[in-house]
Homo-oligomer: A and B are copies of this chain.
């Protein structure tokens, strides 16, 4: 018998989309997939060469649960914290589950800004806590202090922040995010700040909660170094909080791949990531500008300041119709929180060529629809 905590997690949404895509393919339609949540870039070849070198040097065993010291140091230096405040994890997801189990009390409330990554709801349910949604659609997907104040009380154990946001690409600056942090701190709630898209931004620079006493910052190299398949993330938090998360990490991810830790440490120490990230962001900016320019005519959309998604309002059923009629797969808004059934997420983590084809088909669809 499944435990109650998992019975409440539904996978029907994902299954349904999968079935629709399969149906479209069966009908012989070439499907352009704009629902992908990872960069279409490959891992930098230098990292591959370093990983191979260190595999051959015996970095094929467990590392300490906290991670390799050399990697923790280079991360700590960049954030201006101590290496004792950095723990390496198996991607950001493992870190999020560790933080959830460590800080979300059973039957407590956990505050989320919506729209947000559907996994956050799952973490809350796995901890037998209750999600409290703060809908940000009226404030350009930014989290307003007053809205946070409005939901905080002593039954809130944690807050999850994600800026730049998946799916909206919204970015909170340092001052903005600090304000939200302070409200949470006043209520002794732990802030879990998922900053995995922090280096993929266009004009407004995202703030970070690294170094704050009551915050757990979660990040990874998955998105910024195109290393989703390597499973390497990290947490920055004050030692007392890290100790609690370590209790879970020791029996969960245990350690990130040893050679990957070593390779990334050396790559970062040499500062090689800066050029890679710059080139990737330049390309994402080109694509964002293209999508926003062409689709802005048809949809009410906030220009994304970060990540690689556009989140916009259409109507309920739009995603299914578009897929069946034109073979373009988007993600429906429903799983991102209550009240987003008529939204869609478009990921521009795909080639410009694909993107052009997809946008043309969406335009066609909208024009045909306008004509009735």
Chain A interface (Cβ within 8 Å of chain B)?
1-6, 9, 11, 38, 42-43, 45, 48, 51-52, 55-56, 58-63, 90-91, 93-94, 96-97, 101-106, 119, 122-123, 126-128, 157, 188, 190, 226-231, 243-244, 246-248, 250-260
Smallest CB separation, A254 vs chain B (Å): 5
Smallest CB separation, A355 vs chain B (Å): 18
Interchain residue pairs A-B with the least CB separation, the first 5: A229-B258, A43-B60, A119-B251, A2-B244, A52-B52
Q: Which residue of B lies closest to A190 (CB)?
A: B1
State the number of copies, please. 2
Among B52, B101, B106, B122, the residue within 8 A (CB) of A247 is B122
Contact partners of A256 in chain B: CB under 8 A: 231
- The CA-CA distance from A260 to B93 in the complex, in Å, is 19
Across the interface, do B229 and A60 meet the contact criterion of CB distance under 8 Å?
yes
- The CA-CA distance from A246 to B122 in the complex, in Å, is 12
Across the interface, do A250 and B48 meet the contact criterion of CB distance under 8 Å?
no
Pick 25 A–B contacts, CB within 8 A, sort by A.
A1-B157, A1-B190, A2-B244, A3-B101, A3-B102, A3-B105, A3-B106, A9-B247, A11-B243, A11-B247, A38-B61, A38-B62, A42-B60, A42-B61, A48-B60, A61-B228, A91-B253, A93-B253, A97-B97, A101-B126, A106-B106, A122-B247, A231-B256, A257-B257, A257-B260
